[in-house]
């Protein structure tokens, strides 16, 4: 039973290592220019989501937590992407 338990533990450790390797491969490098959103406060005022190209011209409300437009645009873009993948 001890040999069987050790083999099961080894299999589980190998499976977790493979999952971790897949996860680290899917991560992108975090460099300048890879941000999700840009906040411009001067000379003009705008917040732009680079994933969906959604723009808002009142950054104060976004900085105070009004992210509904960004959330909805991301969800609709991800739904559109899923529908395109199904075709």
* 19-40 per-position pLDDT tens digit: 998 888 777 777 777 788 999 9
Quote the pLDDT of residue 87. Answer: 66
Q: Is the pLDDT of residue 70 over 80?
A: yes
Q: Model pTM?
A: 0.59
- Show the 3-state SS of the chain: CHHHHHHHHHHHHHHHHHHHHHHHHHCCCCCCCCCCEEEECCCCCEEEECCCCEEECCHHHHHCCCCHHHHHHHHHHHHHHHHHHHC
Q: How large is the average pLDDT for residues 77-84?
A: 82
């Amino acid at each position: 039973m001890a040999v069987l338990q050790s083999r099961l533990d080894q299999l589980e450790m190998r499976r977790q290592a493979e999952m971790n390797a897949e996860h680290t491969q899917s991560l992108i490098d975090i460099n300048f220019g890879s941000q999700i959103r840009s906040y411009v406060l001067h000379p003009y005022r705008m917040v732009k989501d680079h994933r969906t190209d959604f723009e808002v011209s009142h950054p104060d409300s976004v900085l105070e937590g009004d992210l509904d437009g960004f959330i909805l645009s991301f969800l609709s873009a991800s739904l559109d992407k899923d529908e395109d993948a199904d075709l």
